[in-house]
Amino acid sequence: MKKVTIRDVAKAAGVAPSTVSRALSATERVSSETTRRIFEIAERLGYQMPGDETAAPSPALRRLLGIVVPDLTDSYCAAVTHAVEHECFGHGFSLVVAESRGSVSWERMALDGVLRNCDGALLFSPRMQNAQIREYADRLPLVVMGRQVRGVGCAVVDLTTGIGQAASLFAVRGYGRVTYLAGPGFAKDAAYRLKALESACDEHELAVRHLWPGEPTFEGGRAFVGKYLEDPTGAVIAYNDVMALGFMAGMRERGHEAPRDYAIIGFNDDVSARAATPALTSVRMPADALGSSAARLLMRRLEGTGDDESLRDAYVTVPSSLVLRGSVGTADHNERQ
């Protein structure tokens, strides 16, 4: 089969070969839309970056790890990455950071780069399918964060306690119906949160209505306001804090305030949650503990400080908890219950 070249990718993408080269190497600025299209076409055509076929794994540790995250501008992703870097530094490892921007194609290209140059990889909140992740785990030591993949080392936040406390708070404060502002439809963790929420609300006899899917951004939260007001509930829980804050801003624009008119809880316990008015009640998912535990798991495997087979698919959990602030009142504050 003929080897796919940069010219082939450029022709399919309708751009110059030099543009393809810049996009793939990230040495110069190319628009995100063009870069995304080039990456997707390169993967579809089977283009291999230089070194893919010739690079051989070094028998000695480079002491270099790679982490792939969906969005470096997201404060929670940044906090997890910082915790991983801190743990790596303490054990004499360096860290390469790559952003997938929520694209499976970018995720795969980033992991291919890590495969060529690093001893192991950490994959945070991946978008690709489990089977694809297992394929990479067969090729290099890999730990997934924020999602459980059978047969692969994982570090996840156990949402049971935090979401259980949120549901209990709503019930104790007199609420009977909860709206869940869901995250991206393709995100596995969004479905996991919904399942955990439904289970907790069922235990406390709360009815759950979910709005799905949504962008996990400030504007994504604001965009849910109109749909929510078609059938408002007294309690709301959002996929993350920034989405909750966007929702609160949109509600304020229409004359509705928390906790007077509705109660709301977010996820992550970002700094922004503490700075909001009112301060946002949030399910804390400790980024420092998640990143540190994932990094330690990967480094233990690389340094041979544990049984390799047991570490390959080890499952580490970090507990969650509810941080109560001013965004949850009592049901008698408002007419929506």
The mean pLDDT of 16-38, rounded to a whole number, is: 73
Q: Is 116 helix (H, G, I), strand (E, B) or coil?
A: helix
Q: Which residue has the higher pLDDT, 62 or 258?
A: 258
Task: Judge contact between 323 and 90, C-beta under 8 A.
Answer: no
Q: What pLDDT does residue 337 have? A: 54
Asked whether the whole model's pTM tops 0.85, one would answer no
Handedness of CA 226, 227, 233, 234 (dihedral sign): negative
The mean pLDDT of 101-129, rounded to a whole number, is: 89
Dihedral in degrees, nearest 10, Cα atoms 134, 198, 187, 218: -150
Q: Which residue has the higher pLDDT, 327 or 313?
A: 327
What's the CA angle centered on 288, arms 285 and 289, to 5 degrees?
75
d(CA 97, CA 85): 9
Third-level CATH fold of 160-284+321-333: Rossmann fold (3.40.50)
Q: What pLDDT does residue 58 have? A: 44
Q: Per mean pLDDT, which range of 4-13, 63-72, 260-269, 304-313 is the poorest?
A: 304-313
* Residues composing the chain: 337
DSSP state of 70: S
List pLDDT tens digits, range 41-50. Answer: 887 888 876 5
Q: What pLDDT does residue 144 have? A: 96
Q: What pLDDT does residue 27 have? A: 47
The mean pLDDT of 83-89, rounded to a whole number, is: 95
* DSSP3 helix / strand / coil % (the chain, rounded to 5): 45, 20, 35
User: What are the structural domain ranges in the chain?
Assistant: 1-19+30-44, 160-284+321-333
Dihedral in degrees, nearest 10, Cα atoms 116, 120, 122, 128: 50
What type of residue is 9?
V
Q: What pLDDT does residue 183 have? A: 84
Q: What pLDDT does residue 50 have? A: 57
